[in-house]
Amino acid sequence: MNSRESRRTFLKQFGAVGAVLYLGSGMGLARTAPHHRITEMGFRYTISSVDCLPKLKADMDRLLEQNKVTKHATIREYVGAFATELPEEQLWGKSFINVAIPNKIVQVDFHHKGEKKRVKVAPGYTSSGGRWDGILDHIKEHIIGDKEAKLEYGPFIPQKLLAARSGLGVYGRNNVIFIPEFGSYHALLTYVTDHEFEPQPWRNPQMLRECEGCNICYESCPNKCITPENFVIDAGRCVTLYNEENEDMPEWMDPTIHNALVGCLLCTIKCPANAHRLADLDIMDDITEAETDMILSGEQNEELKASIVEKIGRIGLTADFTHLSRNLRLLLER
Ligand code: SF4
Ligand code: SF4
The Å distance, Cα 254 to ligand 1 centre, comes to 24
* Residue 171: predicted pLDDT: 96
Q: What is the pLDDT of residue 120?
A: 97
Looking at per-residue confidence, does 15 or 93 come out higher? 93
> For 285-332, how does the pLDDT look when each residue is reduced to its tens digit (9 = 90+)?
999 999 999 999 988 889 999 999 999 988 876 666 888 899 999 999
pLDDT range class, residue 112, cuts 50, 70, 90: very high
Would you say residue 284 has pLDDT above 80?
yes
Q: Residues 6 or more apart from 97 whose CB is under 8 A from it? A: 45, 46, 47, 139, 143, 144, 151, 190, 191, 192, 193
Q: Which of 227, 265, 267 to mutate to test the pocket of ligand 2 (most atoms within 8 A of CB)?
A: 267
Distance 225 CA to ligand 2 centre (A): 6
Q: So what's the pLDDT on residue 38? A: 67
Of 152 and 26, the structure prediction assigns the larger pLDDT to: 152
Residue-wise DSSP of 255-294: GGG--SSSS--TTTTT-GGGGGGTT--EEPPPBPHHHHHH
Is the pLDDT confidence value at 213 over 70?
yes
Which atom of ligand 1 is found nearest the CA of 218? 4
Amino acid in the structure at residue 47: I
Mean pLDDT score of the chain: 87
- Tell me what pLDDT residue 65 has: 95
Confidence band for 35, pLDDT divided at 50, 70 and 90: low
| Confidence bin at 150 (pLDDT 50/70/90) | very high
Give the count of beta carbons closer than 10 Å to the beta carbon of residue 320.
Answer: 12
Give pTM, 2 decimals. 0.88
Whole-number Cα distances in Å, 27 to 55, 125, 176, 330: 17, 35, 21, 44
Would you state the pLDDT for residue 244?
A: 85
Give the per-residue pLDDT at 1.
Answer: 42
Per the model's pLDDT, the better-predicted residue between 208 and 244 turns out to be: 208
CA-based torsion, 231, 237, 239, 243: positive or negative: positive
For ligand 2, pick from 11, 176, 266 the residue to mutate: most ligand atoms within 8 Å of CB: 266
Residue 62: is its pLDDT beyond 90? yes
Q: What is the pLDDT of residues 159-200, one digit of tens each?
A: 999 999 999 999 999 999 999 899 999 999 999 999 999 988
In the predicted structure, residue 4 carries a pLDDT above the cut 70? no
Give 258: exposed, middle or buried? Use CB within 10 Å, 0-12, 13-18, 19+: buried
Q: Give the separation between CA 248 and CA 334, rounded to whole angstroms.
A: 16
Nearest ligand 2 atom, CA 224: 6
Say if residue 24's pLDDT is above 70. Answer: no
Mean pLDDT of 215-230: 93
Which pLDDT score, from 0 to 100, does residue 256 have? 93
Q: Which residues line ligand 2 (CB under 6 A)?
A: 14, 174, 220-221, 223, 225-226, 233, 238-240, 264, 266-267
Can you give the pLDDT at residue 197? 94
The larger pLDDT score, comparing residue 244 to residue 283, is at: 283
Which residues does ligand 1 sit against, CB inside 6 Å?
Answer: 172-174, 208, 210-211, 214, 216-217, 271-273
Which of residues 116 and 39 earns the better pLDDT score?
Answer: 116
Span from the CA of 211 to the centroid of ligand 1 (angstroms): 5
Angle, CA of 164, 74 and 55, to the nearest 5°: 30
pLDDT at 20: 38
d(CA 37, CA 289): 46
> Higher confidence at residue 88 or residue 19?
88
Distance 181 CA to ligand 1 centre (A): 16
> Distance (Å, rounded) from C-alpha 121 to C-alpha 6?
15
pLDDT digits (tens, 9 = 90+) for 78-89: 999 999 999 999
d(CA 23, CA 206): 11
CB 119 within 8 A of CB 260: yes
Closest CA to 286 of 129, 103, 117: 117
CA distances from 138 to 132, 141, 145, 151 (A): 10, 5, 9, 11
How far apart (Å, rounded) are the C-alpha atoms in residues 99 and 83? 18
